[in-house]
Each structure stands twice: as structure tokens, then as C-alpha cells.
Amino acid sequence: MTQRNITRYTYETTSFQGWRLSICRKWNQFTKYFSDRQYGSEEAAFEAALQMRDKIFEALQKNPSEPRTVFESFKNSGPEKALQSEETVAAKS
């Protein structure tokens, strides 16, 4: 259950169990963590990370010269806000 830009984090020495989404474009880095506990299961957290990754990729295709703007629009959003963030990026371009 691995996908590009999504990494599983399961360590015995930490209480965090979940997925990390990490995307880098033009020296700009976007990282977001998806906790199993927050989403209810490992599978649900993975799906949330996958949905956000796909929305970010769509936004980057529409606005490839401004990855910082795209990343900032997704910075504080969960998967339920991803569509709203995409619309914000489209309005700025």
C-alpha cells in the first residue's frame, strides 16, 4: 500500500502512527502528516493522504510556476478542505 510521495510512519518509540505526505517542487517543500488515530484507521489515513496528494498535483498542473502558492493553500487544510484550497489557487492565477 505504498504510493509516490506518501511514506508510512510506525515507530515503537513514538506515539504517532500514520502516513506522511511530502512533495517538493522548485525548492519548495510541502509536508503533512495523517494520523491513524485522527482518521480512525490506517486505511482511512492513507486514503486521506492520497486524496490530498492528488488534489495538490492537480493544482500544481494548473499553476506549475507557483508551487509555493499551491502549497500554502493546502497548508492548514484537511482532505475535506482540499477542493476549497484548489479553488483558492485557481482564483489567484
Give the containing element (helix H, strand E) for 20: strand 17-25
Confidence category of residue 55, pLDDT binned at 50, 70, 90: very high
The CB density around residue 56, as the number of other CB atoms within 10 Å, is: 25
**Residue owning grid cell 478542505:** 81
pLDDT of 30-41, one tens digit each?
A: 999 999 999 999
Confidence category of residue 63, pLDDT binned at 50, 70, 90: confident
- Tell me which residue of 76, 62, 60 sits closest to 28, measured CA to CA: 60
Instruction: Give how far Cα 70 sits from Cα of 37, 54, 66, 90, Å.
Output: 27, 13, 7, 9
Output the pLDDT for position 33: 93
pTM score above 0.85: no
pLDDT > 70 in the chain, percent: 81
**Residue owning grid cell 509555493:** 68
